[in-house]
Amino acid sequence: MRPRIRSTLLAVLLLAVAGSLILAPSAFASFFTPKSGGSPNADQINSLYKIILCIAAFVAVVVEGALFYSLLRFRAKRSRFAAQIHGNTPLEISWTVAAALILVVLTVVTFVKLPSIINPPNSNASASFLTASVTEPSPPNGKKLTICVQGRQYIWRYTYGNGCLDNSFNSKLPYSYQVMYVPANTTVVLDIQSTDVIHSWWVPQLGGKVDAVPGYTTYTWFKAPRSGAIYNGQCAQLCGRQHAYMTAAVRVLTPSRFAQWLTSQQQLIKTANSQVTKLRALLTATGNLTPQP
Ligand SMILES: [Cu+2]
């Protein structure tokens, strides 16, 4: 193929790819910016990102524009020599000051936004609450739902309610795997731990990612306003062979529906536990299981 035809074909292909991306709004929605819409902290991360992106884009356009202008305007010509300038004090002072000012603006904007990303807000009046702990991040009025998140190769386990941190596996607290159920408009605080290697909790629409580190407890929070919504996430730390299957989902229910779910989940766990006890007794009686010491 001739080089000219090949480059034309390549240009057409690139244009087609760019065009299809631009014309597919849903695919393009979070192409440049972080996902948001599920929780106020995710929205604040998104707006901070956009402010910084705009400033960075402006700097890129000015710098690249000056570069290309200079390349074209002052390119070497047979009969002409470019002006040989060595040092321009006003110009050098102004671009140093401008760069410092941009950094100051970025710092101020970031510190103004940070509290709304880090500190959880109050739950709405209609919300349901299970805990009031003093060790975790708390909304101003202290009313929140605590869920303990345990990462293990290769699944997420969620234990609901006060005291889950002390006794996640042995207590009678309700728990679920993979899909987390939460009430709408309630400030949900997550206490995150790992039982084996480092994992990372990340549901992009509900805020930033937080590592689950063995031996430590890390925290995050979200407050999802839309009941019926489902937010998907994925362990964001390469944690082993089946890492890709370590997905997470957060399902938002109305507070009353959540209370129902919690009760039925407790009942299901109780039934399953009693069935296991019966089965264990039967297997032991028939000589198929060694009695536990
Ligand atoms: Cu993992």
* CA 103 / ligand 1 centre spacing (Å): 36
The pair of three-digit structure tokens given for residue 259, joined into one six-digit string: 């209370």
Cα-to-centroid distance, 31 and ligand 1 (Å): 24
CA distance 70 to 58: 18
Q: Is residue 10 within a helix (H) or strand (E), and if so which, with residue range? A: helix 3-23
Residue 117 token pair: 């990303």
Q: Which residue is it, tokens 């709408």?
A: 184
Q: What per-residue confidence (pLDDT) applies to 172?
A: 74
Name residue 221's beta-bridge partners: 189
Alpha-helical segments (H) within 24-88: 25-28, 40-73
Q: What is the pLDDT of residue 75?
A: 78
Torsion of CA 231, 232, 234, 236, to 10 degrees: -40
pLDDT number for residue 120: 86
Residue 162 Cα to ligand 1 midpoint, Å, equals 25
CA distance 127 to 107: 35
If one counts every other C-beta atom within 10 angstroms of the C-beta of residue 4, the result is 8
Q: Is the dihedral of CA 85, 91, 93, 99 positive or negative?
A: negative
Helix axes 89-118, 40-73, angle to 10 degrees: 160
Distance of CA 198 from the midpoint of ligand 1 (Å): 7
Rounded to whole angstroms, the Cα distance separating 160 from 147 reads 5
Å from CA of 242 to ligand 1 middle: 8
- In three-state secondary structure terms, 4 is helix
> How many angstroms does the Cα of residue 240 sit away from the middle of ligand 1?
7
Query: Distance between CA atoms of 231 and 38, rounded to whole angstroms?
Result: 8
Cα 183 to its chain centre, rounded Å, is 19
How remote is the CA of residue 156 from the centroid of ligand 1, in Å?
Answer: 8
* C-beta neighbour count of 178 within 10 angstroms: 13
Pairing of strands 218-222, 188-194: antiparallel
CB-CB contact of 230 with 188 (8 Å): no
Ion ligand 1, residues whose Cβ is below 5 A away: 199, 235, 239, 246
Q: How far apart are the CA of 155 and the centre of ligand 1, in A?
A: 7
Query: What is the per-residue pLDDT for 69?
Result: 93
At 60, list the tokens: 């890129």
| Sign of the Cα pseudo-torsion (150, 155, 158, 159, in order) | negative
| Ligand 1: centre distance to CA 185 (Å) | 28
pTM of the model: 0.75
Distance 171 CA to ligand 1 centre (A): 24
Q: According to the model, what pLDDT value does residue 26 have?
A: 53
Cα 231 to ligand 1 centroid, rounded to whole Å: 18
Q: Which parts of the chain have pLDDT scores under 70?
A: 1-29, 79-80, 82, 126-135, 167-171, 292-293
Q: How far is the CA of 177 from the centre of ligand 1 (A)?
A: 14
| Cα–Cα distance for residue pair 38/207, rounded to 1 Å | 8
How many angstroms is it from 202 CA to the middle of ligand 1?
A: 10
